[in-house]
Amino acid sequence: MLRAHGQAVAYARALPTTEGRPPFIITLDVGVALEVYSEFTQSGGAYIPYPDPRAHRIKLADLQNDAIRQRLRAIWLEPLALDPTRLSARVTRDIATRLAKLARSLEQSGNPPAQVAAFLMRAIFTLFAEDVGLMDKRAFTDLLESLRETPEHFVPLVEELWRKMNTGGFSATIRKKLLQFNGGLFADPSALALDKKQIALLIQAARADWKNVEPAIFGTLLERALDPLERHKLGAHYTPRAYVERLVMPTVIHPLREEWDNTKATAIVLKEQGTDIKKSKKTQKKKHEAAVAEIKGFHNRLCQLRILDPACGSGNFLYVTLEHLKRLEGEVFNVLSEWGEGLLELEGLGDTVDPHQFLGIETNPRAAAIAEAVIWIGYLQWHFRTRGDVAPPEPVLREFKNIENRDAVLQWDAIELDTDENGAPVTRWDGRTMKTHPVTSEPVPDEAARVAVERYIGPRKAQWPEADFVVGNPPFIGAARMRAALGDGYTEALRNTYPRVPESADLVMYTRHT
C-alpha cells in the first residue's frame, strides 16, 4: 500500500494544470482495504491520511458502517464539504462569540479583566476535557445545570473540582475520580462568583462542540473575546488557517516529508530484501530489523525537533506545525504497525511529538497563556485521534515553560519612569485605545488613555532558544508609528541596541538581527 500511495500521488501530480489536483486519492488492496488521503488546498501539497492516520484505512467489513459509506459517497459527490477546517472554523467562531458575551458580563459585575481571563481559561479547558473524554461526559455541564437556581454554591463546588483536577483523585463535587491535570492551569483554582444569568451563559458555552474546536484560529478569537480593547474585532478578519499553512508547509513540513519519503523508500527496499526466501532466516531478520530501525530513526528525529515562533501571539503557527508533525508521526506509527511493531513503547514518556518541542516568545501575558492552552488542546485532540480512548500519561498537562512571556528583540535590567521637573510622571497615549471622532465618526486616538513614559536601563539584544525551525508572523510597525505604539523609551533603547538597523526600518526588521 505504501507503493500504491506513491503511485497515486504521481498520477495526481501528472495531471494537467488546467484540471487542477484532486482533493482525494484512494488506494486499494483488492479484497482487503481502502486507504483514503486528502489535500484540500489542491495546490500541490502532500496527500495526508484522511480523516487522520488512525482512521484512514477502511477494511471491507467497515463498509457495513453507514457513516463510512456516507463518507465515501461524499468523496465522490461533495469532496470539499469534508474539509474538517470548514466545520471546525464555524464551531470555533460560535464558541468565541459566547465566551465574549460571558466575559463582558463578568467585567460589568466588577471583576478585573485579568481575573476574568484566568477564570475562563480554566472553564474552557474543563469543557474541552469533558468533551474529549479526559473526564466523564457532561460532568462539568451537569454541575452547571444543577447550579442554575443556586449560584451561591458555584464558587465552593467549582473550586473543589479544580483543586482535584490539579492534584488528581476523587472529586466530591462530581463524585468521580479525576486524572491529574496539573500543568499550572489549575494551580490557582479560584472561581468567580456567577449569578443566574452568567451561569446560563456558561451553560450555553458548554453546549458547544469543544471536541472539534479549531486551535489554529481559536487562540486569536479567544484573545479577542477576553481582551476588552480587542473585543470589537471579534467578527472581523483573522488570519485563516490556509495563510498560516502557506508559511508552515514550505518552511517545516515539506522538507520533513521529503525526508520521510526517502526514509520509507530505503526501509521498503530493506523490508523486501528481508522477504527474499533465497536468503537465510538470520539475514531476513537482519533486513527486517534494519528496515524498522530506519523508520524508528526518523521518528526519533521528529521527537527531537524544536520549532520557535519568536512572536507567537496566541499560538496559531505553533499549533498548525504541531498538527502536521502529529499527522506525520501517525504515518510513521502506521508503517510500524503494518510491520508488526508494537507502539506502546514508542508513545511512552518523552518519545512522542509533544508540546515541549514548540517554543514561543510573546510580550502579551494573556496571549502567552492562551498560546500554551491552544498547543495543549491541539496536542490532546491529536492524541485521541491517533490513540483512540487511551488516556494520556499523567499529569495530563505539564509545565514545560515553552512559551515565554517576554520581549523577543530586547532585554533590559530595569525600567524607570520618566518624570518632569516637578518629579511628576510623564505620560503618553497608550498606543491602543481609540475613540470615535465627533465630526468624522472615524476612530482616532483617545488621548485620555495614558501610560507612563519609561526609560530602559541596560538594554541589550534578546536571546532566542535554540531551534531547528523558526516560523511565525512578527508584528509590523512602521518607523513613523513606532514611538506612538511602543513609546519613546522603548524605541530609543531598541535603536541604540541595534545600530546596524536604520531608524527608517519597520519593527519586523529587528527580528532579522536578533
Residue 24, in any domain of the structure: yes
**Residue 18 included in any domain:** yes
Residue 63: give the domain boundaries: 2-82
- Average pLDDT score over residue span 450-458: 94
pLDDT of 466 higher than 70: yes
Task: Give yes or no: residues 260 and 366 share one domain.
Answer: yes
Determine, yes or no, domain membership for 249: yes
Q: Is the pLDDT of residue 239 over 80?
A: no
Q: Are residues 33 and 133 in the same domain?
A: no
Query: Same domain, yes or no, for 142 and 106?
Result: yes
Q: What is the pLDDT of residue 348?
A: 46
280 contacts: CB under 8 Å, gap ≥ 6: none
Q: Which residue has the cell 488528581?
A: 168
Res 405 pLDDT > 60: yes
Q: Is residue 467 over pLDDT 90? A: yes
Q: How far is CA 11 from the centre of its chain?
A: 33
- The pLDDT of residue 350 is above 60: no
- The more confidently predicted of residues 333 and 359 is 359
- Counting the structural domains of the chain, the total is 4
Does 401 map to a domain?
Answer: no
Higher-pLDDT residue of 71, 224: 71
The DSSP-derived string for 238-281 is ---HHHHHHHHIIIIIHHHHHHHHHHHHHHHHHHHHTT-TTS-H
Which of 473, 460, 354 lies closest to 402 in space, CA to CA? 354
344 against 174, higher pLDDT: 174
Same domain, 95 and 184: yes
What's residue 236's pLDDT? 44
179 pLDDT above the threshold of 60: yes
Q: State phi, psi for 293 to the nearest 5 degrees.
A: -60, -35
Matching residue, cell 465574549:
100
Task: Report residue 84 as a C-alpha cell.
Answer: 474538517
Regarding whether 214 and 202 lie in a shared domain, the answer is yes
The pLDDT value recorded for residue 123 is 94
Q: Is the distance from CB of 95 to CB of 205 less than 8 angstroms?
A: yes
Which of 328, 330, 342, 335 has its CA nearest to residue 268? 335
Q: Which of 57-61, 268-272, 273-277, 303-307 has the lowest mean pLDDT?
A: 273-277
% of the chain exceeding 90 in pLDDT:
61
387/461 same-domain check: no
CB count, 10 Å around CB of 285?
Answer: 12
What confidence score (pLDDT) does residue 237 get?
46
Q: Which of 165-169, 269-273, 290-294, 510-514 has the lowest mean pLDDT?
A: 510-514
- Domain shared by 101 and 245, yes or no: no
The pLDDT value recorded for residue 183 is 76
Per-residue confidence (pLDDT) for residue 46, from 0 to 100: 81
In this structure, is residue 489 part of a structural domain? yes
Per the domain annotation, does 404 fall within a domain?
Answer: no
Query: Same domain, yes or no, for 66 and 90?
Result: no
Q: Are residues 292 and 221 in the same domain?
A: no
Q: Check whether residue 74 and residue 102 sit in a common domain.
A: no
- Residue 322 in domain: yes
Residues 313, 226: one domain?
no
Contact 94, 213 (CB under 8 A): no
Quick check: helix, strand or coil at residue 169? strand
The mean pLDDT of the chain is 89
- Angle, CA of 475, 476 and 478, to the nearest 5°: 140
Most confidently modeled of 214-218, 296-300, 416-420? Answer: 296-300
Within-domain flag for 314: yes
Q: What is the pLDDT of residue 349?
A: 40
Amino acid in the structure at residue 464: W
